[in-house]
Amino acid sequence: MPIFSNKTERCLGIDIGSNTINIVELSENSKKVWLKNYGMAKIKEITGKKIKETKHDPFSPFVDEIAETIKIILREAGIKTKKSFLALPDFSSFLISFEVPKMKKEEVESAIQYQARQRVPLPLNEVTLDWNLTDIREKDGEEVLDVFLLAVPNETVRTYRRIAEKAGLKVGALDGEIMGFSEIFGKEEEVVMAVNIKRWSTSVNIINDKKPMQSSSLNVSLDNFKENVASVTEISYNQNNKKEDLEKSDERVKRALANELLKKVQEIYETYTTSKERRINQIILTGRGAKIREIEEVFNENLDTEVDIANPFKNIHYTAILEDLLKESGPDFSVAAGMSLLGLRSLEK
């Protein structure tokens, strides 16, 4: 459900984070998807400026810095492709799931517009809307349509278009990260939950039969882990504790925060499984926070579902020498790889 899209022969997937930009270039040959190139850079290391958290459009004041970082990644990695599929940040988008009664095709858009006015906390003339019908099912003896709605502030759309223009890119699509996750992690006839732990937020994305079902943004983030661990470590260090004591303090703090994240994820998990009467087959931890060992441990200890660290390159072909490197960096590139694959799949439609 891209906001605007055009077909392309080779695709870049771009994930603009609050600290790091990740880019993946995929191509398709003989019905096989190949990793052509990839790259990553920290915005501050390139430009000397750090993006600050804001409630609305944090990237708008940093268009030049972000575009410059993208250009450097492309140049250093030797990437020539310009057509790009960019992931929109969950913290400045509205991703909403709801149901409407089954109706005639010409009536659906009016019904969705009505629901959007009730659910989107901005006037509709200030946002760009896109939506998917994800399922038709029976409820209380009546057929209903499940709708997945993306609403993006026009200001955010303009910011991303400006970034692309300044970086010399052609926008193939702007879309929510869940659309890329649906391509890269989705499985036929199974429900997958992708928990993306980022610097400012964590997004919880549910994908059913390779279709996006819902996405929620949580206020537990990678920064929470770093700040709390740093605080406890400083106190312990000032008390002249041994190295072993410092490590135990760090672990306790991480496990406490992992349990806080778990509780929020469990609420979403239980609400979905109860309302849809479907079990979640797999939970995938992705984003930089997925590398925090205690999160995987706590999730595995408390959830009766398979929990895995993201490997977005699992079904993508690449040079064997990259095996260990891609396995280690996989969680960082999940969004970018998913958006690139989304671009390739758009060729088939």
pLDDT at position 221 is 81
User: Does 31 or 239 have the greater pLDDT score?
Assistant: 31
271 and 144 share a domain?
no
pLDDT at position 242 is 47
111 and 216 share a domain?
no
278 and 302 share a domain?
yes
Of the residues 148, 182, 210, the one at which a domain ends? 148
* CA 345 – CA 349 distance, rounded (Å): 7
pLDDT per position as a tens digit, 43-67: 999 888 888 766 567 888 899 999 9
3-state secondary structure the chain: CCCCCCCCCEEEEEEECCCEEEEEEEEEECCEEEEEEEEEEEHHHHHCCCCCCCCCCCCHHHHHHHHHHHHHHHHHHCCCCCEEEEEECHHHCEEEEEEEECCCHHHHHHHHHHHHHHHCCCCHHHEEEEEEEEEEEEECCEEEEEEEEEEEEHHHHHHHHHHHHHCCCEEEEEEEHHHHHHHHHCCCCCEEEEEEECCCCEEEEEEECCEEEEEEEECCCHHHHHHHHHHHHHHHHHCCCCHHHHHHHHHHHHHHHHHHHHHHHHHHHHHHHHHHCCCCCEEEEECHHHHCHHHHHHHHHHCCCEEEECCCCCCCECCHHHHHHHHHHHHHHHHHHHHHHHHHHHCCC
pLDDT at position 77 is 93
Confidence of residue 33 (pLDDT cuts 50, 70, 90): very high
Whether the Cβ atoms of residue 144 and residue 115 lie closer than 8 Å to each other: no
Q: Which residues pair with 137 in a beta bridge?
A: 144
- The reply to whether 1 falls in a domain is no
Q: Which residues pair with 206 in a beta bridge?
A: 193, 214
pLDDT per position as a tens digit, 175-195: 999 999 999 999 999 999 999
* CA 136 – CA 140 distance, rounded (Å): 13
- The reply to whether 69 falls in a domain is yes
82 and 190 share a domain?
yes
- The reply to whether 38 falls in a domain is yes
Torsion of CA 79, 60, 285, 289, to 10 degrees: 100
pLDDT at position 196 is 96
Residues in Cβ contact with 58 at an 8 Å cutoff, skipping those fewer than 6 apart = 18, 51, 52, 92
Cα–Cα nearest to 197, from 260, 252, 151 = 260
- The reply to whether 246 falls in a domain is no
Proportion of the chain above pLDDT 70, given as a percent:
90
pLDDT per position as a tens digit, 311-338: 999 999 999 999 999 999 999 999 999 9
Domain count across the chain: 2
pLDDT at position 55 is 57
* CA 213 – CA 194 distance, rounded (Å): 12
Residues in Cβ contact with 99 at an 8 Å cutoff, skipping those fewer than 6 apart = 139, 144, 145, 146, 147
First to last CA, the chain: 12
> What CATH code is carried by the domain that includes residue 50?
3.30.420.40
pLDDT per position as a tens digit, 137-170: 888 888 999 999 999 999 999 999 999 999 999 9
179 and 317 share a domain?
yes
What's the rounded mean pLDDT across residues 215-236? Answer: 72
* CA 127 – CA 237 distance, rounded (Å): 49
Residues in Cβ contact with 195 at an 8 Å cutoff, skipping those fewer than 6 apart = 202, 203, 204, 205, 261, 265, 283, 284, 285, 286, 287, 290
312 and 324 share a domain?
yes
Confidence of residue 227 (pLDDT cuts 50, 70, 90): confident
What's the rounded mean pLDDT across residues 288-295? Answer: 92
pLDDT at position 57 is 73
Cα–Cα nearest to 175, from 84, 88, 95, 59 = 88
76 and 100 share a domain?
no
- The reply to whether 317 falls in a domain is yes
What's the rounded mean pLDDT across residues 232-257? Answer: 60
pLDDT at position 7 is 47
311 and 334 share a domain?
yes
Whether the Cβ atoms of residue 12 and residue 84 lie closer than 8 Å to each other: yes
- The reply to whether 116 falls in a domain is yes
54 and 173 share a domain?
yes
User: Which of 26-40, 188-202, 222-236, 269-283 bottoms out in mean pLDDT, i.e. has the lowest?
Assistant: 222-236
Mean of the per-residue pLDDT values of the chain = 88
199 and 129 share a domain?
no
Phi/psi at 196 (5° precision): -100, 105
pTM attached to this predicted model: 0.89
Record the tokens describing residue 40, joined without a space.
Answer: 């990553």
Of the residues 148, 179, 211, the one at which a domain ends? 148
User: Does 46 or 6 have the greater pLDDT score?
Assistant: 46
- The reply to whether 294 falls in a domain is yes
Q: Does pLDDT of 207 surpass 90?
A: yes
- Domain that includes residue 144, residue range: 95-148
137 and 24 share a domain?
no
User: Which of 23-37, 63-77, 214-228 bottoms out in mean pLDDT, i.e. has the lowest?
Assistant: 214-228
75 and 185 share a domain?
yes
> What CATH code is carried by the domain that includes residue 103?
3.30.1490.300
Q: How far is CA 91 from the centre of its chain?
A: 11
* CA 6 – CA 189 distance, rounded (Å): 29
- The reply to whether 37 falls in a domain is yes
Of the residues 106, 129, 148, the one at which a domain ends? 148
Q: Does pLDDT of 218 surpass 70?
A: yes
